[in-house]
């Protein structure tokens, strides 16, 4: 069982919702506040979520009852599970399952998928829903201010280095403004 220190909290965007980041956060005792990501896949085909993962046997079970057995682990840390093409050739769900010429279905599962699943279950708690709802007031507001009030909607500069410098100066100015507001609020009498 993973025990988390709930005093620490980290919010991330959907691009950074990866098994590695979920593992690091949970191992460090940081409560992840990761966004919902839509399941990927081709329209009209079975999704990975429709296949049941059996952790004891390290296999996936398809909706028709066939096993997808572990085949290999790639460089990115994803385990590949493959079905038996001979058994799947006569399956009634084959057209919804795969386009493969040899009738093999391949599902990839990251070695740290357990951490991503844990982060997903934490996402569904009432506390995290409340925190995520405040995202528009905290995180996204800063980007909105930069875009609307500080000219980050477009730039006349060319090149990554120049644009990076403009972004750093803009956000440094916004951080100084925020710091000045906090200091001013602490000086005001209650």
Q: What is the pLDDT of residue 72?
A: 94
**Helix (H, G, I), strand (E, B), or coil: what is residue 68?**
strand
**What local confidence, expressed as pLDDT, does residue 44 receive?**
84
pLDDT at res. 81: 96
How many residues are recorded in the chain?
190
Residues 6+ apart with CB under 8 A from 37: 14, 17
Using DSSP bridges, classify how beta strands 9-11 and 31-33 pair: parallel, antiparallel or unpaired: parallel
Instruction: Count Cα atoms within 13 angstroms, Cβ side, for 156.
Output: 1
Exposed e or buried b per residue across 84-102, where buried means at least 16 C-beta atoms within 10 angstroms of its C-beta: eeeebeebebeeebbeeee
The edge-to-edge listing of strands for the beta sheet with 67-73 is: 52-54, 59-61, 67-73, 78-82, 106-110
What's the pLDDT tens digit per position in 87-142?
A: 888 888 888 888 888 999 999 999 999 999 998 898 888 888 888 787 777 767 77
For residue 190, pLDDT over 90 is answered with no
pTM value is 0.65
Q: Which pLDDT score, from 0 to 100, does residue 187 have?
A: 79
Instruction: Summarize the confidence of residues 44-51 as an average pLDDT.
Output: 89
Mind listing the pLDDT tens digit for each residue in 1-39? 444 444 344 445 556 678 888 898 889 888 888 888 887
Delimit the domains of the chain by residue range: 9-38+118-136, 48-114, 138-187
In this prediction, residue 7 carries a pLDDT of 38
């Amino acid at each position: 069982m993973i025990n988390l220190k709930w005093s620490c909290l980290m919010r991330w965007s959907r691009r950074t919702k990866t098994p590695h980041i979920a593992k690091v956060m949970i191992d460090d005792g940081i409560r992840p506040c990761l966004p919902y990501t839509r399941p990927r896949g081709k329209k009209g085909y079975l999704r990975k979520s429709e296949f049941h993962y059996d952790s004891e046997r390290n296999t996936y079970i398809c909706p028709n009852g066939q096993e997808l057995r572990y085949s290999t682990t790639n460089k990115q840390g994803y385990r590949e599970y493959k079905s038996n093409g001979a058994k799947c050739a006569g399956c009634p769900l084959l057209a919804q399952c795969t386009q493969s010429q040899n009738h093999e279905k391949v599902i990839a599962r990251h070695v740290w998928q357990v951490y991503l699943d844990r982060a997903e279950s934490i996402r569904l708690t009432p506390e995290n829903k409340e925190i995520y709802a405040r995202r528009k007031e905290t995180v996204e507001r800063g980007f909105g201010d930069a875009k609307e009030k500080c000219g980050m909607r477009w730039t006349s500069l060319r090149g990554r280095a120049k644009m990076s410098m403009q972004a750093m100066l803009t956000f440094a100015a916004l951080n100084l403004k925020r710091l000045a507001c906090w200091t001013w609020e602490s000086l005001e009498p209650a």
